[in-house]
Each structure stands twice: as C-alpha cells, then as structure tokens.
Structure 1
Amino acid sequence: MSDEFSRIARYFAPLAGEEGLGLANDAAVLKPPPGRELVLTVDQMLEGVHFLSGDDPALIARKLLRRNLSDLAAMGAVPMGYLLTTALPAGLPEAWLAGFAAGLAEDQKLYGISLYGGDSSSARRDISLSATLLGHVAPGTALSRGGAQPGDEIWVTGTIGDASLGLKARFGELTDPTGYLTQRSLLPEPRVGLALAGIVSAAIDVSDGLLQDLGHICRVSGVGAVIAAEAVPVSPQAAAFGADMLEARLTDGDDYELVVTVPPKHAGALKSACGALPITRIGHIVAGVGVEVHNEAGKTLRFGKAGWQHF
C-alpha cells in the first residue's frame, strides 16, 4: 500500500474543489453563498457495523456520502461539499482505494459537491470512515424536529423497510430474487432538493427506524403520534414477505426516506413540492407522548424495540 501522502495525492486530491486548495494545506477556505446560512452534519461508517468486509468500496463511499446528504435533506439544505476522514488498516489493496475514490467521484458529480479536505490515519484492523457535509439554506428556513403540532398529518417519502430486508438477504436470512432489496440496503436515495420550507412543520430522515425517528420529532416537539400500519408504504418486493416482517420494516432503519409533519392545509403544497417522488400520509400528530401504531381494527400494536440502538 502506498504511503499516506502519495495516497492523498493519487486518490483524493483529484476530488478536491477549489475550497480544498489542492489538499496541500492544513485547512480549507470556504466562502458561503451570499445571504445564506450554513448547515453541517457528520456521520461515520465502521466496518462490521455499517458495512461488510466484502462490500464494493465504491458503494461504501457512496453510502457514506448519501447518509450525510439525507441529513441535509431533512434540514432542507442545499449540499455544497464535504470533509473526509479515513482510518485504514495496513495492507489494504490499492484496488480498494481506487474503487472507494471512484465511488466518491461518481456521487460528487451526481449531487454537485466536492471534497474540501479531511484527515487520514491507520487502523489496527477494521476500516473506519467519516464524512462531514456542508450545505446552505436561506436564513431562518432550516427544517427542524421541533415544530409538530396536534392535528398535523404525518407523511413519509418512498417506501419503508426495503433496506432492512435487503440486509437480511445479504446475511442469507431471506431471498431477494430481483436484487432490489439488496440494492436498497447498499445504496440509499437521499431526498435532497425538496423545497419544503414553509410547508412542513417538522422533518427528520429515517435512519434508525421509522418509529424511533418519528419518536424524535415527538420528543422535541412535545407531542405524540398515531400511525396506521397498513398505510406505511411498502414496495412490492418487501410486501411479498407479509406481516411477519412488519416490525423489521418499521424499526430496523437504514431507509433514508424523509418523515415530515404537515398542517392539513399544506398537504397539496407538499405533494407539489415532491413532484414525481411518492409521498404517503401514514398518520397524525396528537397531544401526548410517544408513537402508537394501530392495525386496521384500530388495535395498538406492540413491538420489542422502536429502532436501532448504537449502545
């Protein structure tokens, strides 16, 4: 494996924007767009926790960026660029680095972002990665988790549970004949570019499970939520596994869809803002605490967990 500086020059300097100064200095120099506020988010991916040892390095790189892009989407921010940190074990093949850099380059082009800088280090065994993404919003328009009010409707983009079942397929716990669920696990689709300011009262991306992440909105807003299990959108591929996978779909996470709360009078504006992106009403905000899931008969369903726990 090449040394640290030649690795940076070969694989990462070509990804740098002008703010990164060719990755030849101690820090980047960033000039925010005039009259805009900066939005920053950081996320990490660890081998054996967030990705498997044999995963395609290009897909690992793209998912690393997309997890952060999803956070920016949940704040209504326009992506700008990112800082990258890597801790890589000795002996990691050059082909892995080349694939990882190619994945970064692909999504940089797709989302109009560039590399500003970062840090590289060594790891004793497993790969450790993190990215800090920067975006911008008009002053005072950043979306938050804290504005939901009783009577607001709860909507979610896309479909929920595909990534969870895709991971099970990768572990051989179920079959995925089309590969669709596996792909959703490996490469999420962050919902960037939606003009939701002034329409939604609260927003969050679904990373740790729909119930848990919606619960974060409830906690910060000081409200409760009721959702209908049958209303939660499901892909045909996930629906094939029936009700047995309902808890996994609602609690395992890794969807990177958006769940938003919306005053009923803004429902039409929400649909217009989402355009061709499917968005589904799944419930409503109530006075109270926590999230309840009801079946078609109105009975409250109980689950063993609300979502992914890191500890």
Structure 2
Amino acid sequence: MSKESALIAALRALAPHPAARGLADDCAVLDFGTETLILTHDMMVEGVHWLAGQDMADVAWKLVATNLSDLASKGADPVGVLLGFTLGNDDTRFLAGLEQALNTFSVPLLGGDTVSANGPRSLGLTALGRATCRPVPDRRGARRGDGLWLTGPVGAAMLGFEALRDNTGADSLAFRRPVPRLVEGRALAPHVTAMMDVSDGLLIDAARMADASGLTLAIESASVPFPANLPSTRRDEAMRWGDDYELLFTLPSDATPPIPAHRIGHAVEPKGSSVTIDGAVPHGTLGYTHD
C-alpha cells in the first residue's frame, strides 16, 4: 500500500459525514437546503505535476481544469473556485493563465489565500459546484453486467509531456491545457450507474471504481481509444500514465450513452483482481500514486 493510500485509509475514521462518501469518490456531495453542493480540492507541486521552468500560465490553466474535471465526474455546474497560492517570480504569467481558464470555463474566483515559502512551489484549488441531477453520480454504483465506457482517448497527455520535456516541438497541449468534460458529465449524470474522471491512469482509476463498487471491471484493450500517433507498443503504458481527464463510467448493459463514447469493457463478479485486461490480471503498477 502506498503512503497516499495508507493516509486516506486512516482519514476515513475522521470523515464519517455522509457528504464525504467514505473518501471513496472524486468529490464531497453535500445537501444544503434545496440544493446539493459538490466540493473538491486538488493540489499541484512543481517537479511533480509540472516541469521546472514551465510556463506558469499553463500551470494555472491546469490547476483550474483538473479541479473542474472532478466536478464534471459528478455532472455538476461550476459555481466558483478558491485559490491557494505560493508566491514566485512569475506570478504575472500565472495570473494570465488563471484569467484565461476562468473565462473559458465561465467560473468565478471567489477568494483563497497566498503564502511565501522556500523550495518547490505548491498550489491548491477548491472548486465548488451545484448538482444538476439526483442522485449525484458516484464511484460506488457500478453493477454486475454494466458496460464500461470512456469518453475519449488515453495517452495524449503522456505524449504531450514527453514533447514538452524533450523540447521536440511536437504538440504538448493535452498535457499543458487539459479540458474538463463538463458538458459530457452533465449529459451523462442522469444515466450512469457510476462515473469518475481518469486522472491517475485508466487502469488504476478503473480499479478504484471497481473496489468502490465491490466488483471487477474487465477491460478489452482492443476497444480502448488511443491517439492516432501513439505507437501500438505503448498502449499498455498509456493506460497507466494518467492526466487525460476523460470520463470513465458504467451504464446498464443494454443502454447507450447520450454522447459519443467508447465501450471498453464490462463489470463482472469479483475475481480476485479489481481490473483485468483481456481476461488477465495486469502486472506492475496500475497508475500514478504518491508514495
């Protein structure tokens, strides 16, 4: 078990409120009067989530987009964001990217906090949303026999990271400026049995959904979409890399989604492994974890 997983397991004892969903979901879901609020918080650290020297305008965009992706997985409408910011030498570029992201996704900045510190910079963002349907989608709702679906390809962020790191001049936009699937999430929310975003890798996130739902998700590799320029020899790597921010969801076996999507597998009774690929248990690390 990674340090991250061990800490989350320990934190569950401190989070008994129903809104926390047992710390087994992308967001907190809080009934508040006649509304249901969706709340999420993600952090990014220099050298872990972005390259040293990377344009801070892209970092700001990604900080907003990754948090809004969590809201998308609940089918939520964004209400606003709160920023936790470590001061640096290129704050003007960060502000430019932040403004671009807020305008693009029509979400207001509501407040936050600033600090100064030594060492690698860390940034945090809290995103608040409003549920558009009830029940709000959950990782825990997949049922045996459900189809497993994905909104788009995995692997583009991996290729974009490598292009940026190696300064090849190839397209790096998928890594630098991901786009949260907010429209798709709202369309899917009334129909799915379970839904989450793919942030740490298709395999590890599918395993998390399977564990939360108490079953196994059987993935068919030939049905998984990949970028056209991804070498076929790197498909397994692409399913483990992460940062793609597509939506992974389940539907009843005879249902089709209201948006374009790819059926990549189905849910089966527990088989001793949370996820299988072409009937076999995948070896090695399934995706990104904080050790």
Shared topology, TM-score over 0.5? yes
**Equivalent residue for 1:234?**
226
List gaps (5 residues or longer) in structure 2.
1-30
Taking the aligned partners of 1:214 and 1:65, their CA distance within structure 2 comes to: 24
Partner AA of 2:175 in structure 1: S
**Equivalent residue for 2:141?**
147
2:191 matches 1:211: no
| Residues 36-57 of structure 1, C-alpha deviations (whole Å, 9 max, x = no match) | 2110000011111100122111
Shift of 1:127: 1.4
Shift of 1:198: 2.7
Alignment match of 1:158 (pick from 152, 169, 175): 152
1:300/1:33 Cα in 2 relative to 1: closer, same or farther (>3 Å)? closer
Shift of 1:247: 2.3
Secondary structure of 1:129's match? strand
User: Larger radius of gyration, structure 1 or 2?
Assistant: 1
Secondary structure of 2:255's match? helix
**Equivalent residue for 1:54?**
53
Secondary structure of 2:245's match? coil
**Equivalent residue for 2:115?**
121
**Equivalent residue for 1:251?**
240
Taking the aligned partners of 1:249 and 1:229, their CA distance within structure 2 comes to: 11
2:177 matches 1:187: yes
List gaps (5 residues or longer) in structure 1.
1-31
Partner AA of 1:72 in structure 2: L
Taking the aligned partners of 1:282 and 1:199, their CA distance within structure 2 comes to: 17
Aligned runs of 1:20-59 on 2, under 5 Å? 35-59=34-58
Taking the aligned partners of 1:302 and 1:149, their CA distance within structure 2 comes to: 22
Root-mean-square deviation over aligned CA pairs: 1.9
TM-score by length of 1: 0.78
Shift of 1:139: 6.2
1:146/1:301 Cα in 2 relative to 1: closer, same or farther (>3 Å)? closer
1:139/1:279 Cα in 2 relative to 1: closer, same or farther (>3 Å)? closer
1:236/1:185 Cα in 2 relative to 1: closer, same or farther (>3 Å)? same
Taking the aligned partners of 2:151 and 2:132, their CA distance within structure 1 comes to: 23
2:189 matches 1:197: yes
Partner AA of 2:267 in structure 1: I
Shift of 1:34: 7.9
Alignment match of 1:134 (pick from 120, 128, 132): 128
**Equivalent residue for 1:3?**
none
| Residues 191-233 of structure 1, C-alpha deviations (whole Å, 9 max, x = no match) | 0023223311001100011011011110010010111111110
| Residues 233-266 of structure 1, C-alpha deviations (whole Å, 9 max, x = no match) | 011122xx222x1222011111100000110232
Shift of 1:166: 2.0
